[in-house]
Structure 1
Amino acid sequence: MDSVGLFILLILMFFQFTAAPAAEEITWTYTGLVGQSEWSAYFPECGGTSQSPVDVATTQTKYDPGLTAVTPLGYSQHGNKPFTLYNNGHTVVIELPEWMGLGGLPWLFTAVQMHLHWGSGGPSHGGSEHTVNGLSADAELHVVHYNSELYPNLSAAMTQRDGLAVLGILIVTGEETNQAFNSILNYLSRIRHADQKVFIPAFDVQSLLPKDLGRYYRYNGSLTTPPCYQSVIWTLFHERVQISKAQLLKLETILYSSKAEEADRMLLQDNYRTTQPLNHRVVFTSFSAESWKEFSSGEVTAIVIGVMCGCVGLAVVIRFIVKTIRFFKLLHRETVALYL
């Protein structure tokens, strides 16, 4: 081989070993060099016009009377086979058996997995991906399904516009422990590091969902993590699920995004994507604004106290009027008796 040929060969070998890695090989993060602000540079669909999550501005939603209640299929019939729980470095994932599914949509969807998103600052500091009227919840649960009526598997479905259906459940904190969520949280200490897996007892997945499955927001969007395929029919429930502050603290502080063998441990926190522009998309609701007014616990307390105060005040006024009438009647009798 002459010197020119050798030079060309060396150049080709150089480009072979220095070529940019394929998108699927890139390790993305929520912050840093491959953080969410840079996702679209490595994963083009992350810069699309139908991205998720979004902020649901309730005054701009549109009521669709054709939206019926979603129907979990087999969620509560978990059987005896254990679930797989694992830390993928981005979140905690629970794999779901393929005989679980979702009805109430134009097609039948088969369950794949569910996972969580959370923050780092405790209650009222954000952590959910979707927001409502600009306000975050403390965490968010996603239950992922693929369109098994049109596609043979998740890989084939996830790139298609009608391929996925995800349930979004907003999570807030209160004083009471949510025993259903302990079916997950009690085992997090066994998967503290990325790539760790553990088998856990199967449980009733429907117990994680809100009781009211008939009131929700619906829109077309995307996966909220790379590759951000715009293939998701989103159902974000109106009713929120409550866990205790201690449960949220466990979720926020027990897991690492780093592997066990890595010297620098990095807590797995703030694993939520910021809300994306709607870009002329419409968020539909399964309920009309006139048929439902949501009151917070503070508003309910204020209403109850107001009604009680009103009743007490009315009773005082009535008592005062009765005593005044009696007084004037007595005064009148005494006056008549005086003139007699």
Structure 2
Amino acid sequence: MIARRTLLASALALPLPARAGEPWDAVVDPATGTLGAALAQAEKAGRPFRILLRPGIFTEKLTVRVPGLTLQGSPGTVLQYGTAAGTAKPGGGSWGTGGSGTLAIAAPNVTLRGLTIRNSFDYIGARRDGAGNGAQAVALAVGREADHMIVDRCVLLGYQDSFYLQARSLITDTRIVGGVDFIFGGAAAWFEGCEIVTRYVPNADGFGYVAAPSTPAAQEFGLVFSRCRLRREAGVPDGSTWLGRPWRAGGNMALMGQAAFLQCWIDAHIRREGWTWMGYKGPDGEQRRLTPPEARLWEFGNAGPGAAPAGADRRLLTAEAAKRFTRANVIGF
């Protein structure tokens, strides 16, 4: 029985003959195969590769290293793992935030479609028990090598640091769920038609920050949200959540966060002040704050009960300035 199961798993991870309308190089069923085996096959192929995942749960922590790979989910396909910053690595040491991701992308021109990617770390339990270093637990990590990343019609689930972006990315019609800094990084990224959902956390004083851009000062654009919907889970109160805060990662003075929300619908959980500061350690070792007026944090044409204007630090683009914020300008594709 074990031998037969192994043979089935291996077969499903091998390239299959292309069918009309389904030109898949590998089709994987979680009952009999693994995504890891299919990725290994893709690496051996040495060319762009297409993988279809059947419905079910894949409990795997993986890195994509194949340029041009397409990973397509089916309704009910879930990729999950439960690693957070500070949890032990196999072979010794512990994961950092960037290494905690359920799925990491480390190659250019990768496309993800129709997947649910979840970090299943017990954030609520860790918070209750005082465990972990803030419980950063990434669902999807797009590394610096992953230029021209596409995420389409996916669901990304976490609590703190759900989605980490460090390379040019296009994110369309995707549901992104989290709480603290749950869309973050130094990438130029264009989010279009996405649903961005703040999670409920029992006994929380506040409900976090949507965006934490760490954009290089020399880079014109960072995290740009176009025609997205900012919603909340049941129990998240009005005026409890920040649009975001600028992240000067590692105290790097060359980072000056950039984010913009353009023609989005914003629910009443977003605070009237909009943006807030984030602390960092300066070159002299002193603790400092990077404030919204120092960073490049903007809105334009938003609607809904949580939309601007409100507060001196919640700045609106002029119609002329907003013309610069196009998909072509932000990411070039």
Instruction: Give your verdict on TM over 0.5.
Output: no
TM (norm. structure 1) is 0.25
- Higher Rg: 1
TM (norm. structure 2) is 0.25
Structure ranking higher in helix proportion: 1
Structure ranking higher in strand proportion: 2
Of structures 1 and 2, the one scoring higher in RCO (CA 8 A, sep 6+) is 1
